[in-house]
Structure formats: structure tokens, C-alpha cells
Structure 1
Amino acid sequence: MRLQEETGTVFHSWNEKRLKIALVYPNTYHQGMSNLGFQTVYHLLNQSADCLCERFFLPDKDDLKRSDCPLLSIESGHTLTDFDLVALSISFENDYLNLPIIFNLAGIPFLAADRDQSWPLILFGGVCAFINPEPLSDIVDVVAIGEAEPILPELLDLLVQKNQSREDCLQKMAQLPGIYVPRFYTPVYAQTGEVTQFIIEKGAPEKVARQFLHDLDRSPSRSFIQTAATEFGNMALTEVSRGCSRGCRFCAAGFVYLPPRERSLENLVEQVEVGLCQRDRIGLVAAAVSDHSAIQELQTEILEKKGQISMSSLRLDALTTEEVEIIYRAGHKSVAIAPEAGSQRLRDYINKGISEEQILTSVKILADGGIKNLKLYFIIGFPDEEQSDIDAIIALTEKISLLWREAGRKRGQLGQLTLSVNPFIPKPFTPFQWVGMETTNSLKKKIRVLQAAISHIPNTRINNESIRNATLQTFLSRADRRIGSLLPELAEGGNIKQLCKKSGLSLDFYVTRQRQADEIFPWDVIDQGVKKSYLWHEYQQAQQQKSTSPCAPGCRRCGVCGELIGSC
């Protein structure tokens, strides 16, 4: 049924010459087909004359309840074990818990040590792979560190070679740029649990350099397969840029996709024209869509071609009346913005680079521009957060709500204001990788305070992410390979703290502990392109900023060069 609703699906004949690759998204079809990176890898693999790539997804909940639930490819109904390579595309750490289910349905041993030459090789790719591959390092055979476009050509050239042993193949892979073979790196742990060093087999590089595509125009990234059965089924997605120069100290995506790169206007118009043949609405995707140097020209091009526009992010400090008019004309009734923190002190601490005046000005422009509903993203539990910062979220929300209600009364229709409040998750390769997550009890208290206060603000509601899910994500994003064997029991609903204790590990060690300045991290086997010393310097800058506040509100540091940007 799903296959019949798709356009753009690629079918290849099953002959012996082709390398057969199973591309697995460890969540449902609805989630996976909403992922632009997954679609791009599918397109790249099937472009090769020597390859055949088919897709696999986690079965839906109702299907999983069946005792005979099959795990079959979308394109031809083959099983995972029919393929030479199983490529896992993982964008969210919590999807690790779906891997034991997928391996079990396929009848594949979960740990790499239990698989011999007769089993397909297991490759781990996606953004989780180059943030921290270690939690899956005892499970997978190979990890792709970086973006697919520069990695795949050499990797595929090697894999299509026949009559090579598994061991020879892995040794050759370890020499390729951006390929990490975990079995050639053995971590050594101190009695206190920290990694003290990696013993590296001869021939493997000391660090694996993250690969990235220098010129985005060389390779399109858009919705190659269209289907209504996704979150963005009514639009054709187009990637505008990669990376972000803003340098928010909590944001992994802002650092692991450096340097910032953007597609040319000409390239984007070509992709948009293809998308408009399939859908009336174009979804512009990037970490910072509004930062594109030709964003207004692109929006005008789409509108002139009778298309509608959806944007994944808005730039608060440069929002214009003209941009909001374009958004309104495109049919948007709801818009999301991200102040992240309520107080100026904390926004400066995280290097957000916006002032309260800029936030309120942007809100007024959106309200006066006819946007009906507004969503505000806030994070709680930042390092050095105080009760006054929680109070500042409430105070800022009250000011925004007042502006929003006044605009609603003028147009005769009150809109909805929604706060999305999420716990801070300290991620690898950010200046805050040294800090721990705030404790569950403390976060619960802050959420209760916010819920009580927001309930008294008219036309305003609050949603918050599960603290349990946030704790799990922190655990999985910062852990080492010792936790891989816990995943099957975690997938069955086991208590994370008890499972850690049973295995001689500590949940607090991974989640809430403050790291030492010179600590070796599990993810230090990766050369991300951003020096660890720079990240530490940024962390120290934040620590100094909380007491000195040398900059004017709205100043920030560039995530690439560290220079101050703003009124300074």
C-alpha cells in the first residue's frame, strides 16, 4: 500500500553483480520518510550503477504486536540477511532502543563479536554517528564519520570488490577518510570509570576526521521520494544550507556541521522547480534558514512560481516585515521562535546573541503580520541557571502574551501562545560537553513552577518534554561502548538506573557528573574539525561572562572563528 502511494521510488533488478545495501531507519516509516538526510543517502546509493539500495523501517506498533511480524524491504520484500551491507541511518539517540527489535526481527546477532563472515556488515551513519559513535561500537562493524557525499564513493568502490574476507575488508575500510572501525580501537578505563586511552591497532589512524561536502551545489538534497504518509507529506523539502555560524554553546548541530555552507540561489531554484512538479508547498530546511544570503530572493522565486513556503527556522534578530508578509502569503497560521532562555544573563551565557528588545520586536512584527499562533522554545536546566532565570521565562512570556492578545483583538480573533519547555542536554562537541545534566528532582520543580504560572496567562499553554526521555538521551549521547549490551533490556522497558547498577556502571557517571578539564571523552576518537581547546575556551568564556557580562545585550561569538559579533 505504501509503495503504491510513493513517487520517485527506485527499483533495481536483483542480479549477482550489484552490491546490495539495506538502508535502515530505526523508527517508523512516517518518521523515516520525513528525514531529508535519509532520503538523500537513498538517492546517492541508488545513483551508483554497481549498487542496489532498499529501505527498511521499524514496523508500526500494531504490526509489532503480531507474533509473525515480518521485517521486509519496502521495494521488493527481501529480508535484511539478503543484503551485503546493512546501513543504519540514525539522527536521534533514543532510536538506539529500536535496534534490538530490528535485529531480533531480522534474526541477526546483536553484538558484532557474535557475527561471522556469513552475516552482512553493519554500518552506522547519520548525525549520531559523528557526535558519538561509542554506544554502538560493540554492535556495528563500521561507522561513517561525517556527511555521506564525500564518504560514499571510496567506500562503495571498496565494497563492490568480490572475494575479500571480512577481516581484509575492515582493514581496508579503516584506511578510508571518515571511516571508523571500532574493533581496531580498544578503550582503557580507569577504576573511576573514565576512559584513560584508546589502544589503536597498527594501521588505524589515531583520530578519524569527520568528512564534509565543501560545495553543496555538487549534490542535491531534497525529497527524492514523495509520499503523503509523512509529517511533511504535503510539501517538497529542499535543503538550503548546512551548518550555522551562530555558536550557541549548547547546540551540537551548530558545531558538528561546521563550516557553514549554503547552496547558490541558482541551485536552489532548480531544486524548487523539481519539487513544485510534485507539491504546491516547498519546505526550506536548514539549521538557520533565515541566515541564507539570498533567502528573500528564493522566497520570491517560489511565490512567483505559484508555490507556497514552509520554513524550519526563523532568525529572531533580523526578522523583517517583508519576510513575515511572505510567510503570511504562504498560508502560515503558526510560527515557532526560540528565545531559549528568559533572562538576558542566561542568553549571553549560552551565546544566544539576542536581546529581549529583539525578541519582543520580532513578536510584534509576527503579530501585526497576521500570524495567528506562536510557539516559543525554552530550555531549562542550563549550567548556572538560577530561580531568577525561571522567573524571567514567566515575565517574558507575559510580555509576549500581552502583545499577542492585543494583535488578536485588533484582527478580531485571539490566537494561541504555546511554550515548549525542554531540559538541557549537554552534548558532545559543544562548549558544554564538560557539564552534567541537572537532576530530575530539580527539573521537576522548575516545570511545576512554570506550569502553575503559565496556567494564569490567557490563551497560553505549556508543553514539556519527558524528563525521563531527556535523561535517556543524555545517557545515550554521552556514553561509552560499555552500555551497548544494556540496549536490549532498555528496549524492553528496563529501568535505566537499575540496569547500570547491575552492570557495575553508574547512571550519574554518564548523566549528571561534571567532567574534568583534561578528561578523555569516549568521542575523542573523532576529529570534528573544532579543537577541543577552543570548546574549553568557550566554556571558560561563559563562566567568566556570568559575573562580568562585558558585552552589550545581543552580542555573541561566531561559532567558527570565536570573534565577537554584535554591538561590540
Structure 2
Amino acid sequence: MERGGYLKKWKGKIPIALIYPNSYAVGMSSLGLQLVYSLLNRRDDVICERFFLPEESERPVSLESGRPLNDFPYIFISVSFEHDYLHIVKILLAGGIEPFAGKREERQEGRPLVVCGGVATFMNPEPIAPFVDFFLVGEAEPILDDFVDFLAENSGTSTPRQLSLEAVHKFEGVYAPGLYTPVYDKKGSCSAMVPEPGVPARVKRLSLAKCERAGHSELLTPLAEFSNLYLTELGRGCSRGCRFCAAGFIYRPPRLWDADAVIEGLKERPTEVSRVGLLGMEMAGGTTLDHISGYILESGCALSFSSLRADRINDGLLNLLSKSDLKSVAIAPDGASERLRRVINKGLDRGDLLTAAGRLAEAGIFKLKLYVMVGLPTETCEDLQEFIDLVAAIKQKIDAIGKKRGRLTEIYLSVNCFVPKPWTPFQYHPFGIGRQLENDEMGTVKEALTNFREKISYLKKGLKDVANVHFQADKPENALFQALLSRGDRRLADVLFDMAVTNMSWKAGLKKNELRAEWFISAGSDAKRYFPWYIIDHGIEHDYLWQEYLKGLRSASTEPCDTSICRRCGVCGER
């Protein structure tokens, strides 16, 4: 059923377990996991086998050979989402691996080395840092081969501590948490990370500078969430600079692969696969999309994607959508009002959204998904009412089109609770509270949850009489746990361990470990505040993020990033 996997003999090879801490269906939809799996298995001296989250009480075994986790001297983990942090601990425990790196040496003979990467870890690695020997910070291509060579040459003769010291001096982009000690202030916040003598104060995030062939699906399976869909990336990062979006900051500088590189990636598609998914549609320009769309049409393929920017819909793309028989498309206003879209620097107005909805309905779309966030900085009920009015206006526009063709387009509204993410301008803003808090202020979990529930209820009530609008909302408690994990520090490792061992709730875990959620998610900030994720060096000036936060509070816009001339944030050189 699966195409593209590797089955190798073990003799004379370096065994590496590659864990995706979720189900097979979710993991096999991750292009990052597939990239690492392929890079490792292309080496003749490596055998890399995959592990996924097993069923409760089952022992994790590799997909390829059925071997147990503790047969592998190297355990690599690819983690994309904070909610999978708990699964990491569960998989290690179920596989007979001591979770805490500092205890593995004393408790486990022939201890494995745990190496972790993935986008969640270069946003903020700290909540899982006590479980990990090494983080590879950033994109895999610039470092993976050299790091595997390093492990093969040195791990048999060096202690884990010696290996850590050698690695951080040899490589940029390698973070060995055991060489750093966190410091906490009286307010319960992490105030510094102190490296051992001679160890770099921060760890540089690595990125791929050029690409001749775009990243693409290496394995295909009908059991993935995107069943038998051949994925190809259009680039990495995004130049728009939306203030809520971590990807627009942690992947800087934004890189849009040229159309030829994308087409080279598409050419690797197995001939029997006819569905193509493009990742990064939000950043692609019209000319690039036209070129790629033409190739996809000539190849007889159908197009699929997660969402479109409302102001990037052109005739060529609409023609491809129509011929792909695609019936469902998502666009993301994200902010409820035009003012809020300036706050978040989204760059879309009411006219963009109405025009996009109308053109998509005319192209044959029967299911229009709209994504919006509640709980954004400075948000009021007036903003929410403007969104209710916008949905009604979109419905009126697409209904007129639907009546002419004999079938109406339905609207599926997804309402999500805003979580202030690391490395965005809104990292300074408290979770669930509309107003800015001073450095000596602290909001409460109760206030945040109440605000979210009231806003979701306001939208639901305002839209209840609009026909063919399907309403789905995030649970505020789930968003709170996500905020805790995304903004937390090493103290959360004990909470995750207790949750994995005893099945206690995260609230009970915080209480057991004498921690308060407010320390991580609701504290006020100023320009000088230290965050635990500052151990990573993305090249972004902290003052730039602070000034962008203040601009957002003023509803002031910032132009998209042009890497040929822009020096605002510090990533591309001196400001």
C-alpha cells in the first residue's frame, strides 16, 4: 500500500530510529518527516526505520522491521506540533527508554542518544529540553549528513557530556540542553539561560539558502491524512509578516523557489498519482503560479491545497481549480474586522474577501471555508459584529451565483482561539486578554477563558440565522494548553512526565509541581523581557519584534519583506 519506503539489511549499518510522535496517518502527511527519512536512507551506511505513536499499552516497534525502540542506538524525533510533546514521553516510556537525558546514563546501559528537530523545536525547544541530548535547530539539509558522520565517529568513544561539548564547538545549529542552566526570577519567569564556560550563549538556526529541486513527497500511502496526495513546496517562510504567524518569522529570510525548481520537484511524482498539493500558496506570486499551473494542467493532474490568499486569486489559478474538480477551498480573513487585519498585518480588506468568495463560487466551489481568530490584541465586540456582517455579505454574494447554477455554496466557519507564539511580535501579549499588560501586571486564566467563551458565543449567536453557515469553534481550554506548551520552559518537562506516567491532567501536573499557568501565558511584558526561547538565535532583533508589537497595537501596517533591499528585522544584515 505504501510507496517509497526503504527495507535494508542491518549488517554493517548505523541504526537510526525516526519517531513522529503521532499516528501513522498524521506523521505520513508531514513533508519534514519524509525529507529526513529520505536523507538518512539515501546513505549506504545508515538504516533508518520509522516509529509512530502506538495504541495504549502497546510497545512501539519500527514500521520497517518490527524491531523495538531500544534496539536503536540513535533515536531521532521530528516534532511539528506542541500537542505532541506528551506523546514523545509516552513513546520513550513504552519503548523502555528513560525519558530524562540526565538519568539515561546512570539507568540505562548502552543508552541511546536522543536527537530532536522539527518546526516546533526551533520555535521553543525548552519544554522538552530535559528529554533530549541534541536539538538540530532549523532545516535539516545543511547539517543532517555531517551530524550523522560526527555521531558515528565519536559516540562510541566519548561520554554523552564529551560528545555534547565537541558537537556545540564543531557545529552551528546544534543545541545540547545539558550544557545550559536556566535561571528563574521572583515572578516565576525564566530570566536567563547560562551556558557552561566556552559554550556559545545562543544557538544559530540553520536554513537552506538555495534549492534546485523543491522538497516533495518521498512516500505515498492511502492511509495518510492527505491520501495519495503528492506534495511539493513552493518555498519556505512567508514575506507577508503577519504578526501572529510564527512561520513568517522563524523561516526568515523568506525563500520562494523559482518555478523551475518547483516543476523539478513535481517531475518526481509517480506517473500513477494524479493529485498534487502545493505548500505555500500564500506567498507565491501570480507569474510563478501561472507557470506552475500550466505545468500541472499539461501533466493531467488535479490540484489540491490547504488555503489561498484572497488577493492572490487569478484567472490561471481559477482555471486550474475548475479543471481539478476541486469543490472545497479555504480563505483566511484571520482578523474579524478590517481594523484587526491591520493590527495583525494581514493586508486584506473587505473588498478582497468579497471578490475572492465570488470568483471561487463562479469557479464551481461548493464549500467555502473561512478561518478567523478570536482573542486578538485590542479586539472588541464591534470587530466581531463587523465579521458577522462580512459573512452575511459573502453569503448574499455567493447565493446569487449559486441560484443561477442551481446549487448554493455553503460556508464552513472555523473560529480559533488566538495563541501568542514565540518569535512573533505578539509574543509580548498575554493569552486571551485584549489589552496590553505592563511588565509588573499578570492576567488570570479565568479572565482569558471567560473572554474566549464570550466572543465565541457572540459570533455563534450573531450567525445562527444565516442559512448554510456551519459554525465550528476551538475549545478555549485546548488553546490554553497549547499556549502553555508553546510558551513554557523546562519546568514543564516534569509536568509532561507526570501526565504520561499517571494520566493526570495538565492542571493537576502544574499543581503537583508547584507551577502556575499564568507565569507562562499571562504575564505582562516590556521590551527587555527575556523569553526561554531566546536560547535560539533566529537573527531577528528583539527590538524589531517589540516595535512591531507596538505598531500592531496602533493598527499600523508594515510592508511585506523584500530581501533584496529590506534590512528591518536583522536577519539579512545590519538594520
- CA RMSD, 1 decimal: 1.8
Map 1:17-56 to 2 at 5 A.
17-56=12-51
Question: Out of 88, 107, 115, which is 1:123 matched to?
Answer: 115
User: Structure 1 length as normaliser, TM-score?
Assistant: 0.92
| Residues 222-277 of structure 1: per-residue CA shift (max 9 Å, x gap) | 11111100111132111121110000000001111111112232222222122142
The answer on whether the counterparts of 2:214 and 2:235 sit within 8 Å (CA) in structure 1 is: no
Question: Out of 497, 507, 519, which is 1:509 matched to?
Answer: 519
Tell me the SS of whatever aligns to 1:94: helix
Question: Out of 315, 320, 334, which is 1:321 matched to?
Answer: 315
Question: Out of 184, 189, 192, which is 2:184 matched to?
Answer: 189
Give the aligned partner of residue 374 of structure 1: 368
Deviation at 1:516, TM superposition (A): 2.9
Measure, in 2, the Cα distance between the counterparts of 1:292 and 1:158.
44
Measure, in 1, the Cα distance between the counterparts of 2:375 and 2:240.
21
Measure, in 2, the Cα distance between the counterparts of 1:40 and 1:24.
13
Give the aligned partner of residue 435 of structure 2: none
Aligned AA for 1:522?
P
The answer on whether the counterparts of 1:235 and 1:279 sit within 8 Å (CA) in structure 2 is: yes
Aligned AA for 2:488?
A
Measure, in 1, the Cα distance between the counterparts of 2:567 and 2:377.
20
1:452 counterpart = 2:452: no
1:241 counterpart = 2:244: no
Question: Out of 498, 514, 535, which is 2:545 matched to?
Answer: 535
Measure, in 1, the Cα distance between the counterparts of 2:227 and 2:562.
34
| Residues 17-37 of structure 1: per-residue CA shift (max 9 Å, x gap) | 322111100000000001111
Measure, in 2, the Cα distance between the counterparts of 1:271 and 1:557.
27
> How many residues in Structure 1 have an aligned counterpart in Structure 2?
545
Give the aligned partner of residue 141 of structure 1: 133
| Residues 176-198 of structure 1: per-residue CA shift (max 9 Å, x gap) | 11000001110111121122222
Give the aligned partner of residue 174 of structure 1: 168
Aligned AA for 2:3?
T
Aligned AA for 2:59?
P
1:558 counterpart = 2:554: no
Deviation at 1:148, TM superposition (A): 0.4
Label 1:557 to 1:394 Cα distance change in 2 as closer, same or farther (>3 A): same
| Residues 395-447 of structure 1: per-residue CA shift (max 9 Å, x gap) | 11111111121111111011210110000000000000011111011101111
Map 1:94-493 to 2 at 5 A.
94-116=83-105, 118-161=110-153, 163-165=156-158, 166-175=160-169, 176-217=171-212, 220-286=214-280, 288=282, 290-291=284-285, 293-438=287-432, 439-491=448-500, 493=503
1:71 counterpart = 2:60: yes
Label 1:329 to 1:29 Cα distance change in 2 as closer, same or farther (>3 A): same
Measure, in 2, the Cα distance between the counterparts of 1:118 and 1:203.
28
Aligned AA for 1:171?
L
Measure, in 2, the Cα distance between the counterparts of 1:373 and 1:332.
10
Tell me the SS of whatever aligns to 2:478: helix
1:80 counterpart = 2:69: yes
Gaps of 5+ in 2: 433-447, 570-575
Aligned AA for 1:558?
C
Aligned AA for 2:145?
P
Question: Out of 2, 9, 12, which is 2:5 matched to?
Answer: 9
Tell me the SS of whatever aligns to 2:268: helix
The answer on whether the counterparts of 1:291 and 1:315 sit within 8 Å (CA) in structure 2 is: no
The answer on whether the counterparts of 1:343 and 1:392 sit within 8 Å (CA) in structure 2 is: yes
Deviation at 1:469, TM superposition (A): 1.5
Measure, in 2, the Cα distance between the counterparts of 1:502 and 1:235.
45
| Residues 547-567 of structure 1: per-residue CA shift (max 9 Å, x gap) | xx5x7xxx7453863879xxx
Measure, in 2, the Cα distance between the counterparts of 1:353 and 1:380.
18
Deviation at 1:206, TM superposition (A): 1.1
Measure, in 1, the Cα distance between the counterparts of 2:284 and 2:349.
18
The answer on whether the counterparts of 1:240 and 1:268 sit within 8 Å (CA) in structure 2 is: yes
Label 1:494 to 1:293 Cα distance change in 2 as closer, same or farther (>3 A): farther
Deviation at 1:220, TM superposition (A): 4.6
Measure, in 2, the Cα distance between the counterparts of 1:401 and 1:513.
40
Deviation at 1:313, TM superposition (A): 2.9
Measure, in 2, the Cα distance between the counterparts of 1:412 and 1:562.
52
Measure, in 2, the Cα distance between the counterparts of 1:287 and 1:536.
28
Aligned AA for 1:259?
P
User: Structure 2 length as normaliser, TM-score?
Assistant: 0.91
Measure, in 2, the Cα distance between the counterparts of 1:301 and 1:404.
30
The answer on whether the counterparts of 2:194 and 2:201 sit within 8 Å (CA) in structure 1 is: no
Aligned AA for 1:271?
G
Give the aligned partner of residue 445 of structure 2: none
| Residues 262-320 of structure 1: per-residue CA shift (max 9 Å, x gap) | 22322222221221424111111126254475111111111111111112331211312
Measure, in 1, the Cα distance between the counterparts of 2:323 and 2:281.
23
Aligned AA for 2:457?
R
Aligned AA for 1:507?
A
The answer on whether the counterparts of 1:379 and 1:421 sit within 8 Å (CA) in structure 2 is: yes
Tell me the SS of whatever aligns to 2:131: coil
Greater mean alpha carbon deviation, residues 494-503 or residues 223-232: 494-503
Measure, in 2, the Cα distance between the counterparts of 1:94 and 1:357.
36
Give the aligned partner of residue 536 of structure 2: 526
- Identity among equivalent pairs (%): 38
Tell me the SS of whatever aligns to 1:138: helix
Deviation at 1:324, TM superposition (A): 1.4
Gaps of 5+ in 1: none
Deviation at 1:506, TM superposition (A): 0.8
Measure, in 2, the Cα distance between the counterparts of 1:562 and 1:202.
33
Measure, in 2, the Cα distance between the counterparts of 1:278 and 1:103.
38
